[in-house]
């Protein structure tokens, strides 16, 4: 393998990382494929391409790339996590026959696997291997854009389930979404609504509290937490939340009505 090919592969892989971060997943896939043509079985381009495929909802191809990474180095946690996510997505999409619909997973030659092994005892030359710090870095950066995109999809699926009245299943979707990206208030407040419907008031309070950490003026979080406190007969805490809400939105009729109910309970 020429030095020029290796350098070019790194450049394509790095540009792919930029595309992935910007959400340009199609160009990310293209650059990663070129990088892998130049240097087959590179962990970074495989992970980045898998992340891009995942964001594009091409779950079969993402699964293949994540599984290929694990053949090269079975310690890459990002690949394990990716396989788990793709398995769930494909099971939902294609049912129990999902494995039969997969493209062929390439067989990684032993020579490629050995790049990540420790050198044999007594060996003077240390075989090239992926450094622990590099692996950790990969796990953090992959698949940022894809994970956010997948989280949004899961949240939307949860929203559709709420419309159908299936709050228990919606909670599962919101929970999966939050595992991928826990920076969106609406996912917390939506799950809190489901918990309220299922009378899981403590869980609803916890989700609203998380939402308020992200957005200190979130109306839904204050209102739903107030509802949960009320159901637990913690009327003072409920009133505190309603008063906070009314400072932000004084003409909120639902909050005004709840405040009247709380005043009756406190008399």
User: What is the domain partition of the chain in residue ranges?
Assistant: 1-107, 145-266
pLDDT at 116: 38
Q: What pLDDT, in 10s, does the model give residues 198-256? A: 999 999 999 999 999 989 999 999 999 999 999 999 999 999 999 999 999 999 999 99
Q: What is the third-level CATH fold of 1-107?
A: 1.25.40
pLDDT at 165: 92
Q: Please determine, looking at this structure, whether the domain spanning 145-266 carries the CATH number 3.40.720.10.
A: no
Higher pLDDT, 111 or 86: 86
Whether pLDDT at 128 is above 60: no
pLDDT at 89: 87
The residues near 104 (Cβ < 8 Å, ≥ 6 apart) are: 64
Q: What pLDDT, in 10s, does the model give residues 153-180? A: 999 999 999 999 999 999 999 999 888 8
Q: In the structure encoding, which two tokens stand for residue 184, read together?
A: 């969106």
The Cα–Cα gap between 223 and 131 comes to 49
Q: What pLDDT, in 10s, does the model give residues 133-153? A: 434 444 443 445 677 888 889
**Dihedral, CA of residue 158, residue 160, residue 162 and residue 165, to nearest 10:** -130
Q: In the structure encoding, which two tokens stand for residue 93, read together?
A: 């999409």
pLDDT at 221: 95
Q: In the structure encoding, which two tokens stand for residue 113, read together?
A: 């696997």
The Cα–Cα gap between 62 and 79 comes to 10
Please give the average per-residue pLDDT across 64-70, as a whole number: 91
Q: Taking each helix axis from N to C terminus, what angle separates 201-214 and 185-197, rounded to the nearest 10 degrees?
A: 170
* Domain 145-266 in the same topology as domain 1-107: yes
- If one counts every other C-beta atom within 10 angstroms of the C-beta of residue 234, the result is 15
């Amino acid at each position: 393998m020429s030095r020029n090919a290796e350098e070019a592969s790194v450049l394509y892989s790095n540009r792919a990382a930029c595309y992935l971060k910007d959400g340009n997943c199609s160009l990310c896939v293209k650059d990663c494929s070129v990088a892998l043509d130049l240097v087959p079985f590179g962990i970074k381009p495989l992970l980045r391409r898998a992340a891009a495929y995942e964001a594009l909802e091409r779950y079969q191809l993402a699964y293949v790339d994540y599984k290929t990474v694990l053949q090269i180095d079975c310690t890459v946690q990002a690949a394990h996590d990716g396989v788990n996510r793709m398995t769930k997505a494909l099971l939902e999409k294609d049912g129990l026959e999902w494995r039969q619909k997969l493209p062929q997973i390439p067989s990684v030659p032993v020579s490629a696997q050995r790049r990540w092994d420790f050198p044999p005892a007594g060996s003077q030359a240390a075989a090239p291997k992926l450094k622990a710090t590099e692996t950790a870095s990969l796990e953090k950066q992959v698949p940022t854009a894809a994970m956010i995109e997948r989280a949004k999809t899961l949240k939307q699926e949860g929203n559709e389930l709420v419309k159908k009245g299936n709050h228990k299943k919606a909670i599962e979707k919101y929970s999966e979404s939050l595992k991928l990206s826990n920076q969106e208030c609406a996912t917390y407040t939506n799950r809190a609504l489901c918990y309220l419907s299922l009378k899981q008031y403590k869980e609803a309070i916890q989700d609203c509290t998380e939402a308020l950490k992200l957005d200190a003026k979130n109306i839904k979080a204050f209102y739903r937490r107030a509802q949960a406190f009320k159901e637990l007969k913690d009327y003072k805490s409920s009133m505190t939340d309603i008063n906070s809400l009314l400072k932000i939105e004084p003409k909120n009729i639902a909050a005004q009505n709840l405040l009247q109910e709380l005043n009756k309970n406190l008399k």
